[in-house]
Amino acid sequence: MEKFNLNRMIQSTFLISSLGLVSVNSFAQQTSSQENVPVVESKKSLEQVASEEKSKLGTNSGSTAESHKKEDDEWQDYKKQFEQANPFYEIKFNDDYSAYKVIESKDDLDMSEDDESLIKVSEDDVFYIRRVGDWQETKPKKRKKRVRFVWNDEEESYEDCWNFGKVSCNARDGFHYAFSFVSSGGDDFYQESGEATDIKSYASYRIQIASFFVETPGMATRRIHGLYAGRAWGFNFYNTDQWRLDLYKQRDTRGIRDLEGIQVRNKRTRAGLRLTGFFDSSLLQMNVSPYSTSDQKDDGVAASISYSHFWQLRNLSIYGSAGVQYQPKEVVSFYETQPASFAEREDRINQDVELGFEYPISKHWVFGGFAAYSRTNLAIPGVSSLEQVNSTEDKVDGFRSGLLLSLVF
Amino acid sequence: MLLMNMPSAAEEIAKPDVSAVTMNMSPNQCVAMTEGQTCYVDVEFSWQSSTVLDVCLFHSSQKTPLKCWNQATKGEYEYDFASNKNVTFTLRRIDDLSILGQQELEMAWVHKKRGKPTNWWRIF
């Protein structure tokens, strides 16, 4: 059971209004002296009631179908008693959530600031919100879920899944989209000159419907993509509040366009498993790819890990990213002026760091900038373009920086 | 003393006298990068009246006034602050605290937190 206090309620204003709810449910106890005026019950007494009833039920738990039925009946009785003792009232808050009124009929939905039935909210009040339909779950094994009074800022609401229903609900369904104008310059492994300056415009996105996604990472989607995410499609098959697990298949071997010059590419597209962790101010992405579309006998296993951390300086967001990628000798390299024999190939380790900033001009326009450094083993003999860059005996490195203006949805 | 008696928003029944006073605020929105982040904004207020007034400017989350004017027909005020929720600024008469003007500053963000996507229904 979730509760929220006044502060949390006010913070949730957008959610309530965005869901289009005409009312929410308040867990309130009715007093004899004030008919229809809810008095909010304290957390302590409520938890005591729930705890006592739960412990009573727990003593009768069993594993057979009969015992489940018995538990279910007991649960129904408990539910009735619980609701009678602690009735729910539908209430509606005023615009600034400083007061509310009990909704007994549709006529009560009309509210004005001088409405006499408005009850002032105090900071000590605690409200309990439940989802419609929670009581409908009747399977004994799901008993714990029946009392799922949910108001949790961290949890997605049903409305986030409105188009596919509760059964196929995936809280990660939706989209990230940014169209960016980018000016960048610096080293380029793949140019004969070893460097390039570009002004480009392109879209970066992740679109997910019914758990299937297609994505093109870019500098403007650093908040959801790690350093080694490429163009891919796949299936998002597991989620928690913080973690997302995807099966993916690359659509091509290109990396983020403005870093393409200093990002090493595979010889063929690959598929694998990718774990992404979203935290309050950081992002962790790990990736294992054991499959390649190449017709080589062994596909090898590529792997990478990248971490990004975000800092806030007034409304400016600054991020720093670092990552390491392992590429087996089976996948290197994209540009070979002369195909190297397999025996001459070597595994490759790529290391990358990136610093950047984002500043919100408005809700949809973001100005940003980045500087990135990459270093890799020069593992392929006969790669002439790589040798144009600051190569030492067995390593090559590159640097790129740029500015971007993005339209974000 | 004046402030101790200030009515809450729920009790407020006085109607703003919009015909006599004009109140402006700029900007009307503060944008942070990520949902829930504190947004920093420098807000400029101005008001103008055809009659001489004793008024105070109030911030919705504090009881003390930001600025008061005595026997004035206009006023300006600049306020640099941070918040993560919407804030209402109210211009009230000093004598009876009736509302003369009100402006809401919306706290907005570009991205939802923890990599959550934009919902499909936002397209429509």
In tens, the pLDDT along A188-235 reads 877 777 778 888 899 999 999 888 999 999 988 888 899 999 999 999
| pLDDT average, residue stretch A276-303 | 88
CA B79 – CA B95 distance, rounded (Å): 24
pLDDT in tens, A107-132: 676 777 677 778 777 766 666 555 44
Q: For residue A1, is pLDDT > 60?
A: no
Mean confidence (pLDDT) of chain B: 81
Instruction: State whether the Cα torsion A311-A313-A317-A318 is positive or negative.
Output: negative
Q: For residue A281, is pLDDT > 60?
A: yes
pLDDT of residue B15: 46
At a CB cut-off of 8 Å and minimum separation 6, what does A326 contact? A302, A303, A304, A347, A348, A349, A350
Please work out, in degrees rounded to the nearest 5, the angle formed at the alpha carbon of residue A340 by the alpha carbons of A337 and A268: 80
pLDDT of residue B9: 45
Q: Which residues of B touch A118 (CB under 8 A)?
A: 10
For residue A200, list its beta bridge partners: A182
- Would the CB atoms of B111 and A223 count as touching at under 8 Å? yes
Q: Is the pTM of this model over 0.80?
A: no
Q: Is B15 on the interface with A (CB under 8 A)?
A: no
In this structure, which amino acid lies at residue A146? R
Q: When comparing pLDDT for A161 and A100, which is higher?
A: A100
| pLDDT average, residue stretch A11-27 | 31
| pLDDT average, residue stretch A339-351 | 72
Q: Is B12 on the interface with A (CB under 8 A)?
A: yes
Which residue, B5, B83, B89, B97, is CA-closest to B47?
B89
Range name among A64-73, A78-87, A205-214, A252-261 with the lowest pLDDT average: A78-87
Centre a 10 Å sphere on the Cβ of residue A210 and count the other Cβ atoms it contains. Answer: 14
Which ipTM was obtained for this model?
0.80
Range name among A1-10, A250-259, A332-341, A342-351 with the lowest pLDDT average: A1-10
Mean confidence (pLDDT) of chain A: 70
pLDDT-based confidence at A136, cuts 50/70/90?
Answer: very low
| pLDDT average, residue stretch A27-55 | 39
CA A409 – CA A363 distance, rounded (Å): 9
Range name among A274-283, A340-349, A363-372 with the lowest pLDDT average: A340-349
Task: Tell me which residue in B31, B84, B119 faces A360 most closely, judged by beta carbons.
Answer: B31
pLDDT-based confidence at A78, cuts 50/70/90?
Answer: low
pLDDT-based confidence at B38, cuts 50/70/90?
Answer: very high
Q: For residue B32, is pLDDT > 80?
A: yes
Inter-helix orientation angle A43-58/A65-85, to 10°: 160
pLDDT of residue B76: 95
Q: For residue A266, is pLDDT > 60?
A: yes
Which ranges of chain B would DSSP assign to H, the alpha helix?
A: none
Q: For residue A289, is pLDDT > 70?
A: yes
Q: Which residue out of B81, B116, B118 would a mutagenesis test of the A interface target, given it has the greatest number of A Cβ atoms within 10 Å?
A: B116
Q: Is B87 on the interface with A (CB under 8 A)?
A: no
Q: For residue A33, is pLDDT > 60?
A: no
pLDDT-based confidence at A369, cuts 50/70/90?
Answer: very high
